Structure 1
Amino acid sequence: MSTLKKSFRIAFILCLLSVSAFSQIIQPPKWEISLSDQSAEVGEEIDLIFRAEIPKNWYIYSNDFDPDLGPMLTELSLEGSKGLEKVGELQAIDPKRKIDEIWEGEVSYFTGKGEFRQKIKITSEQVKVNATLGYQMCSDVTGQCVPYEEDFSKTFSAQATSNTQTQEPVTTFKEQTSEESEKAQNKEVPKTEIAESPEKVTKVSEQAADLSGDPEGKQGDATDLLPFLIAAFLGGLAALLTPCVFPMIPMTVTFFTGRSKNKSQGIKNAFIYGLSIIVIYTLAGTLVAAIQGPEFANWLSTHWLPNIFFFLVFIFFALAFLGLFEITLPSGLVNKMDAKADQGGLTGVFFMAFTLVLVSFSCTGPIVGSILIESAGGEIIKPILGMFAFSLAFAVPFTLFAIFPEWLNGLPKSGGWLNAVKVVLGFLELALAFKFLSVADQVYHWGLLDRDIYLAIWIVIFALLGLYLLGKIRLPHDSPLENLSVPRLLLATITFVFVIYLIPGLFGAPLKSLSGYLPPMATHDFNLEKLIRENKGAAVSESEMTEAPKYADLLHWPHGLQGYFDYEQAFRVAKKENKPLFIDFTGHGCVNCREMEAKVWSNPEVLSRLKNDFVLVALYVDERTELPESEWYTSEYDNKVKKTIGKQNADFQITRFNNNAQPYYVILDNEENLLIRPKAYDTNPQNFVEFLDKAKAEFEK
């Protein structure tokens, strides 16, 4: 065989491997159906139990949240079953909950394992269960969502009614899917040829967050943990500059220099002192971590009671920092620790550190409490590392000044600036308090703290902080401000810049950098930016549309874009206009589809290309509108009749592109050939621009 032929074969094999790696059918969870009581009698009620083993890095949505929110709720159909009656609705057993910023509300979900129960009443001795479970599985690692339908079939015999009391063993039956469904899972589907050499598929990192316990990917995620640790470390530095702590530095140095026999002993005691501070605070973090668990975290993050409690705690801390009152510990406790510190030796050093922690509590307590509250959420590492970072920043200066007492000469003298630091922290605590009230407000739909009201509160708080820094406002314990220092002026400038940044948010500006702290955009009463953009898009597009889009009364495009919702119509228009066809395989319940639209499609470069260079078609795979019977067909993939818009779109994606996950973006030419390798979830706008530009350039060839 010639070298040229060998090279061609190798290239061809690599091409196929690349296509198959990118275009693949994502397998569903492994399901198991069982009965709560196999020996039930006719007339009794039992539970059908559906248990799922969910793949690593994936989660499925439950069914006990607002159906209008967005994600696809898990639903059960017993159509075709005999000898039973459905009692009540499908129940999710202990799902997890969270506030989803994309969906702007609370969702429930399962990771690792999931369980649903449906109560049924036995009506005859021969029972046939035909169950279809419809649900949605998503991943925050791959950025994909997949809608599924799982079929179950089981027959069993019930006992005739008698007065004999029966036992209630639980018997588990393996899932029995139809032969057609089993064949469909292993069936080969045709591959679509690619017009250009496929690029190497980027693999998901093996070190990606294990979402089996956290679909947000934040448990142990360095990208989430690092900012928190930096904030905790800065909190420790800020605590040093409060009136309760700063004067303690020279007192500590005096303690070591006066009692140490020589310098080496002083250095040793200083290290033990600093280590003791770190141990004391880290133990507090460990205690918080120990009492947390998944159920506790679930309750903590969603129930109104802890969120209102945290809101009141932050308000309490803020008022204390602003000077309304002082937080003090019982004097007896402080005196006991101080007496133990006088014992000398290593024990005395440890209790000297304990005395510092207690004496400074009135200033450090609010900061420490804020760190522990922010870290609460079922995580083990976060509160421990948070307290370690805080105590490290807090302990190192004490240790260094004890080792090098001559550095004390360079410290500024105590004065009114210490109270100013405390007041600034008070304003920050006051602003952050409303985050917890907002969570409770969203979960329970109280309507107390809409986005515009929340922003108005923040604007007022930070404007007052700016005026305070300029010396226009004086609070209790403040010294007269004779002149304005440069650092204070710079902080005031930064504060007013932040206020100006917030103001457009009152009129609908997204303020993406604060998305994690602000209420959802859906709660905004007057979104001027959205109103202008959508009206402008609609006015331009009506005259440009070649045909009136089918299903436009049901479905809509974001950002004022105009396109189609039926493949055949869109392809016909693309051919007529001689433009490439951009296919968006999407879903109402696809969270990552919404994220792509919010973060990528909103980019001006992406938006202009989608609007001007392509004919657009959005194919919703979970649209449940039933088509006329004349448009039904039986799929070659799973031998099921496709009756709805969504079922036909999902079948089209699988059979034509060997893929069943969304978001999934495909660009075709006027002969229905791929112009470029399809693209999945990628929140980098520049990558999407390159994807569109390459497809357009290939089309123009």
Structure 2
Amino acid sequence: MDKINNLVLFLLLVLNIVWTSNAQDDDNPVVWSQELNKISDTEYELLMVGKIANDWHVYSQNTPEGGSLPSVFSYPRAGIDYELIGKTKESETQSEYVEAFELEEVFFKKEAIFTQKVKLLNSEVQQIDVNLSYQVCKEVCIMVEKDFNFPLNGTAVVKEEKTVDERSLALSSALKLNLKNNELLTNSVDKALESKSGLWTIFGLGFLGGLIALLTPCVFPMIPLTVSFFTKHSAKRSKGVANALLYGFFIVLIYFLLSLPFHLFDSVDSQILNTIATNVWLNVAFFLIFVFFAFSFFGYYELTLPSSWANKMDAASSNVGGVIGIFFMAVTLAIVSFSCTGPILGGLLGSTTLAQGDVATNLSAGMTGFGVALALPFALFALFPTWLNSLPKSGGWMTTVKVVLGFLELGLALKFLSNADLVGNWGLLKREIFLALWIILAVLLTLYLFGIFGFSHDGPKQKLSFGRKITGVISGAFAVYLILGMMNMTNLKLLSGFPPPDFYSIKETESDCPLGIDCFKDFDSGVAHAKSVNKPILLDFTGWACVNCRKMEENVWSEPAIYPILKNDYILISLYIDDRKELPQEEQFDFKFESGRVKTIETVGQKWGTFQTLNFNSASQPYYVLLSPDLEVLNGPIQQVDADTYRTWLSAGLLKYQDLAQNRTGKKNKTVK
């Protein structure tokens, strides 16, 4: 029992973690400052500090290859005017496992600090120039370059303008497109997808959890007892009703207060809840906790908080009258019912952790929803006491509810174990194995609900109730749904985010193009093919490390109303902005911006990133443009949108292309005549 209580206290300790946020303007995701510290006559320390906007993040120099683009520093005169002392150091980072790329990415939140020590080789040096190339991401990812100039004498030095040779000028000129109808580029459709895990969704999950908790033996019998206490032990019925309503309010308040530590204590790692999905051992710990929760629901042991806590709260409610006494009664209920509510709250914690957005705010919404559902019957039955007569009697049905919850806890436990498996790259819970285990759980639950087997605390067998049969049918249908999904006879979009991704499979499949659609990764080759087959172009600015790009491909492009259009009616040109493959030496060149800054184009990604900025004044991905083979813009560009908006956008582009084709044909016929 002590070990179990220790596990519970561990979970409560995890619950005392916080999330802090600082507001900043999203239009300027990173604001940079610099400082030069003189160590000696020949040694200096360069300090570069970036203040990162709320919810944005910048990737570390050390984020693994194959994921998002790291921060890269270049020192043009290193080895000539000065030498670098060691590597560029950086401040504390965070990490998160990204399923789409099967690796743990490293990044900065709120602030990034870089320091580099240098030693002068040339006493005449007046300024040290540093270039930083980095990727900053939120809903979209933006490639940014930042130049730092450190004057050694305290005054800025005007740099000699870098010249660009004729070959570079020619290659730069080739990047610029002669777009027609380019006024459409200003009609950007940038309606972003709303998060499915909004506050109301989380509140609804919490409310549902509270309703389930009401059906457990720890809470259900308390409803008539507590309501009767307030209505019968008050001089006036109105006073009893008021006390019961106050009691319900305090229940909501208590569960809301449980979420406050996540907002208040910024001394604790504010990202710990987000890193649950990336930390192997924390995932394993949660897996074990939820397994223990499940077996407590199966009746093998009771999972309770120390009884002294409940005794002290009960004594306080008796000794202190009025409002404070009612508050302590509500606290007593929360402690006494923990055996049943604790695992449900743990599930709420898991759902909140796996959701997108501000974890602290999500958790507050979920806990408030849980408290509202738990308090609702106390308020309603106090207002309408005759309803108490319609309440079903306590009995074996509540045990059934606990067992069902136990199976749900095991399913959630497997999700945390899957997270650990993905991060650790153990290969234990491939997608098919994970689904098979969920199928086994669903089948066992179905067999239990239909009375094929039972647990020791079930009591004597009785006639199956209608509700139990319906739940059994639902559980069996879910098992069939999983089986069909594992056999690829249906998709499992309803479970998106829970099973491992498709690529984490026993039989791994790889494709160079999204969804097997034929695509080109070079613009000129794609345009030439589009001309030969007389089809319009879907220009897809994407990235290997672009999670939102994968979401669009898997959830929008895969739609039956959209996929055939992409496959049959358009020529797909996918340009990967973060492709680090080096261009052939003869294709590398210096590109000079209008500001006078010169950038060396050495990689495929640098080329297409500059191409996107130069022609479409955009640096975000995903970013889609519709063009004719003659480079006429067919519709305004679009980013991450819902399927209906995307389909309408594609169809409008096709109609525009057909009109252009008819106009050209008409002109030719007129010429012939």
> Given that residues 70 and 134 in structure 2 are in contact (C-alpha distance below 8 angstroms), is that contact kept between their aligned partners in structure 1?
yes
Matched, 1:647 2:647: no
From 26, 47, 50, give the equivalent of 1:49.
Answer: 47
Corresponding residue to 1:310 among 273, 286, 307: 286
Contact 2:259 2:363 (8 Å CA) reproduced? yes
Q: 1:261 to 1:471 in 2, by over 3 A?
A: same
Letter in 1 for 2:523: Y
- Alpha-carbon RMSD: 3.6
Equivalent residue letter for 2:247 = Y
C-alpha deviation, 1:292, in angstroms: 6.1
Q: Select the residue among 198, 204, 215 that pairs with 1:230.
A: 204
1:5 alignment partner in structure 2 = none
The answer as to whether partners of 1:99 and 1:105 remain within 8 angstroms in 2 is: yes
Q: 2:540 matched to 1:584? A: yes
Larger displacement relative to structure 2 (265-274 or 340-349)? 340-349
Q: Which has the higher contact order (CA 8 A, sep 6+)?
A: 2
Partner of 2:408: 428
Whole-angstrom distance in 2 between the partners of 1:195 and 1:73: 33
- Equivalent residue number for residue 659 of structure 1: 618
Q: Does 1:566 align with 2:522?
A: yes
Q: Using structure 1 for the length normalisation, give the TM-score.
A: 0.77
- Residue 694 in 1 paired to residue 655 in 2? yes
Give the Cα separation in 2 of the matches to 1:174 and 1:58.
31
Closer/same/farther in 2, CA of residues 602 and 644 from structure 1, 3 Å limit: same
Deviates more, 1:446-455 or 1:370-379: 370-379
Q: Does 1:350 align with 2:347?
A: no
Which of the numbers 43, 66, 76 marks the counterpart of 2:73? 76
Residues 180-259 of structure 1: pairs in structure 2 closer than 5 A = 192-194=179-181, 201-202=188-189, 223-259=197-233
User: Counterparts of 1:126 and 1:198 in 2: how far apart (Å)?
Assistant: 49
Asked if 2 retains the 8 angstrom alpha-carbon contact of 1:451 and 1:523, the reply is yes
Question: In the alignment, is the contact (CA less than 8 A) between 1:33 and 1:174 conserved in 2?
Answer: no
Change (3 A) 1:73 1:632: closer
| Partner Cα separation in structure 2 for residue 329 and residue 32 of structure 1 | 51
Residues paired across the two proteins, number: 611
* Structure-1 separation of matches of 2:548 and 2:364: 32
**Cα gap change, 1:294/1:511 in structure 2, threshold over 3 Å: closer, same or farther?**
farther
Partner residue in 2 for 1:514: 495
Match of 2:152 in 1: 156
Corresponding position: 1:264 with 2:238: yes
1:329 and 1:569 map into 2 onto residues whose CA distance is 68
Aligned residue in 1 for 2:394: 414
| CA distances 1:385-406 after superposition (whole Å, capped 9, x unpaired) | 3222212211221233234332
Is 1:635 the counterpart of 2:591? The answer is yes
**2:300 aligned to 298, 314, 324, which one?**
324
Match of 1:437 among 414, 417, 420: 417
Change in CA separation of 1:291 and 1:492 when aligned onto 2, cut-off 3 Å: farther
Matched-pair contact (CA < 8 Å) for 1:104–1:522: no
Q: Does 1:682 align with 2:638?
A: no
> Which residue matches 1:135?
134
| 1:472 corresponds to 2:452 | yes
- 1:422-451, CA deviations, whole angstroms, 9 ceiling, x for partnerless residues? 111111111112222333333333444333
Q: For residues 353-375 of structure 1, what are the alpha-carbon distances to aligned partners after superposition, in whole Å with 9 as ceiling and x for unaligned?
A: 33333322222222234334544
Residues 621, 285 of structure 1: alpha-carbon distance in 2 compared, 3 angstrom cutoff = closer
Separation in structure 2 between the aligned mates of residue 241 and residue 262 of structure 1, nearest angstrom? 30
**Aligned partner of residue 271 in structure 2, secondary structure:** helix
Q: 1:413 to 1:347 in 2, by over 3 A?
A: same
CA distance in 1, matches of 2:159, 2:449: 69
Could you tell me which residue of structure 2 aligns to residue 114 of structure 1? 112
- Corresponding residue for 1:166? none
User: How is 1:344-423 mapped onto 2 (pairs within 5 angstroms)?
Assistant: 345-372=322-349, 374-375=351-352, 379-423=359-403
Deviations 1:446-489 (A, max 9, x none): 44433333222222112211111111121122133432222222
CA contact (8 A) 2:199 2:365 kept: no
Amino acid at match of 2:69: M
Aligned to 1:338: 314
Contact 2:73 2:132 (8 Å CA) reproduced: yes
CA shift digits 1:109-130 (9 cap, x unpaired): 3355422334555556566644
Listed one character per residue, the Cα deviations across residues 567-597 of structure 1 (whole Å, up to 9, x for unaligned) are 2333233223222233223333333333322
Query: Is 1:84–1:123's contact at 8 Å kept on the other side of the alignment?
Result: yes
1:281 to 249, 252, 255: 255
User: Is the 1:152–1:176 contact (alpha carbons within 8 Å) kept by the matching residues of 2?
Assistant: no
AA matched with 2:260: T
Q: Look up the equivalent residue of 1:98 and give its one-letter code.
A: E
C-alpha displacement at 1:654, in angstroms? 3.3
Q: Contact 1:668–1:674 at 8 Å: present in 2 too?
A: yes
Counterpart amino acid of residue 505 in structure 2: H
Residue identity over aligned pairs, in percent, reads: 39
In structure 2, relative to structure 1, the CA distance for the partners of 1:696 and 1:484 (3 Å cut) is farther
User: What are structure 1's unaligned runs of at least 5 residues?
Assistant: 1-25, 158-170, 182-188, 209-216, 535-555
Counterpart Cα distance in 2 of 1:557 and 1:365: 46
- In the TM superposition, what whole-angstrom CA distance separates every residue of 1:527-565 from its partner, at most 9, and x where no partner exists? 5xx57xx6xxxxxxxxxxxxxxxxxxxxx3222222323
**1:75/1:90 contact within 8 Å kept:** no
| Pair 1:516–1:89, CA change in 2 (3 A) | farther
User: How much does 1:695 deviate?
Assistant: 4.3
Deviations 1:326-374 (A, max 9, x none): 1234444434433444445444433333333332222222223433454
Which amino acid is 1:75 matched to? V
- Normalised by the size of structure 2, how large is the TM-score? 0.80
1:168 corresponds in structure 2 to: none
- Amino acid of the structure 2 residue aligned with 1:646: G
Asked if 2 retains the 8 angstrom alpha-carbon contact of 1:130 and 1:154, the reply is yes
- 2:504 is the alignment partner of 1:523: yes
